[in-house]
Amino acid sequence: MIVQPKVRGFICTTAHPVGCGENVKEQIDYVKARPKTPGAKNVLVIGSSTGYGLASRISAAFSCGASTIGVMFERPQSGKRTATPGWYNTAAFEEYAHADGLYAKTINGDAFSQEVKQQVIDLIKKDLGQVDMVVYSLASPRRTMADGTTCSSVLKTTDGEYTNKTIDLAARTVSEVTVPPATQEEIRDTVKVMGGEDWKDWITALSGAGVLAEHTVTMAYSYLGPELTHPMYRNGSIGRAKEHLFATSKEITQEFPGVTAYISVNKGLVTQASAAIPIVPLYMSILYKVMKEKGIHEGCIEQMYRLFHDKLLADKPQVDEDGMIRMDDWEMREDVQQEVKQAWDRINSDNLQQLADVDGYWEDFYHMFGFGIDGVDYDADVEVDKAVPSI
Ligand code: NAD
């Protein structure tokens, strides 16, 4: 099949198997070209197929030399539909890992469910015995609860309507958007989906089954961002969920002897999860421009390699006064934020091209789906039915 991008709103409904594979290879090459990171042997990554979770898995495998089990929720190819990017990424990841003699297996299913937790426990018992690191990198719009009901997460404010600039990425224009406040029920549901409850459920299940090593590190990802995104993010419904995630990290460390839980505050980046947040993509396109000009722009793999190598598995984990790992240290630098703010105040449809890196945003967007990658022939007929070796 000849696979072309089909973009609908915030997502692309097709994915290119060869392009996704190249994307994974580039990330692996990045890590392999850098000093190794001793410290993790058997790593479970929940949300392992795209974005920060995939980059974490690549860092664990190719920098630490770890055996990895991934959990993802992806769709294989069927009929005329290509698989999702996370499926192709995982197929490529496992192939490269196996070629290097690294153990890598993946479970495809709903991480919120008890069944998937049990499948993972059985697999750890059978193949690895125990894991010494658990990365929780889920980003999901909804969660099916044990009683069969569904909670959906919303990206709204918590404090009245909020109006600010936003970008229409397709039209390349700047306009105003008013974001409505979430209801109490929506906030509660967002916390259920993106807060720490399921993370703790995982640690409870893994610990109860005796598959956590004597010293285990677990880590989940958050975002704080500058003031101009606070109404939407930090003080919004998603921010409430992230507060809960942070509180859960403290609970896990207290309640599970031998387990240390961290929150890593990562940089704002284009991923499938972040493209849908109002206002934030305009901020990110300005941020990309400023950070690229300063030579400090990072993508998921640069962030996750630096997290593993310099911060988490350094002699002593590098944390701030609240105990969080700050991978947003370069994003939040005063000189960076000052320039972003100046651009934000001036930006409109006419000067968008000069003040923001919209091309860079689109480049990252297409890359996520395996498009726009150098060296890939997009006119070639490719096999879209790719197997993930362990599934
Ligand atoms: P992503 O959409 O790229 O990845 C989400 C992963 O979760 C995928 O592997 C997907 O298969 C998996 N997943 C989703 N629902 C699932 C389910 N029910 N069962 C099993 N797997 C499921 O997202 P991302 O942007 O990498 O986000 C990961 C984490 O990082 C989130 O907590 C997010 O808030 C955080 N974060 C993101 C940014 C950003 O700018 N993108 C910044 C800081 C922190």
Binned at pLDDT 50, 70 and 90, residue 159 comes out as: confident
CA-nearest residue, atom 8 of ligand 1: 47
pLDDT of 76 higher than 90: yes
Whole-number Å distance between alpha carbons of 381 and 358: 30
Strands 104-108 and 67-72, sheet pairing: parallel
Query: 51: CA distance to ligand 1 center in Å?
Result: 6
| Percent of the chain at pLDDT exceeding 70 | 100
Q: What is the pLDDT at residue 170?
A: 83
Q: In which element (H, E) is residue 123 found? A: helix 114-123
Mean pLDDT, the chain, whole residue set: 96
pLDDT of 192 higher than 90: yes
Query: 332: CA distance to ligand 1 center in Å?
Result: 22
Q: What is the chain's Cα-based Rg?
A: 20
47 close to ligand 1 (CB < 6 Angstrom): yes
Q: Does domain 7-140+151-368 have CATH number 3.40.50.12780?
A: no
- The pLDDT tens digits of the residues spanning 262-291 come to 999 999 998 777 777 778 889 999 999 999
110 close to ligand 1 (CB < 6 Angstrom): yes
Q: What is the pLDDT at residue 274?
A: 75
From 48, 71, 73, give the residue whose CB has the most ligand 1 atoms within 8 Å, as the site to mutate: 73
264 close to ligand 1 (CB < 6 Angstrom): no
263 close to ligand 1 (CB < 6 Angstrom): no
| Percent of the chain at pLDDT exceeding 90 | 92
First to last CA, the chain: 23
Query: 154: CA distance to ligand 1 center in Å?
Result: 15
Residues at the annotated binding site for NAD(+)?
47-52, 73-74, 110-111, 138-139, 242, 269-271
Query: 52: CA distance to ligand 1 center in Å?
Result: 7
Closest to 307 measured CA to CA, from 86, 70, 45: 45
Mean pLDDT of the region 206-212: 98
138 close to ligand 1 (CB < 6 Angstrom): yes
What DSSP state is assigned to residue 127?
I
Locate the domains of the chain by residue range: 7-140+151-368
The full length of the chain comes to: 391
Number of Cβ within a 10 Å radius of residue 246:
19
Q: Please state the separation of Cα 159 from the chain's center in Å.
A: 27
Mean pLDDT of the region 202-231: 96
pLDDT of 122 higher than 80: yes
Query: 32: CA distance to ligand 1 center in Å?
Result: 24
Task: Look up 361 and say whether it is catalytic.
Answer: no
Q: What is the pLDDT at residue 318?
A: 94
pLDDT of 375 higher than 80: yes
- Residue 357: half-sphere exposure toward Cβ, Cα within 13 Å: 19
Closest atom of ligand 1 to 266 CA is 43
Q: What is the pLDDT at residue 275?
A: 73
51 close to ligand 1 (CB < 6 Angstrom): yes
- The pLDDT tens digits of the residues spanning 81-107 come to 999 999 999 999 999 999 999 999 999
Mean pLDDT of the region 116-139: 98
pLDDT of 315 higher than 90: no
Q: Which residues contact 124 (CB under 8 A, 6 or more apart)?
A: 42, 44, 69, 130, 131, 206, 209, 211
Mean pLDDT of the region 127-145: 97
Mean pLDDT of the region 376-383: 97
Binned at pLDDT 50, 70 and 90, residue 369 comes out as: very high
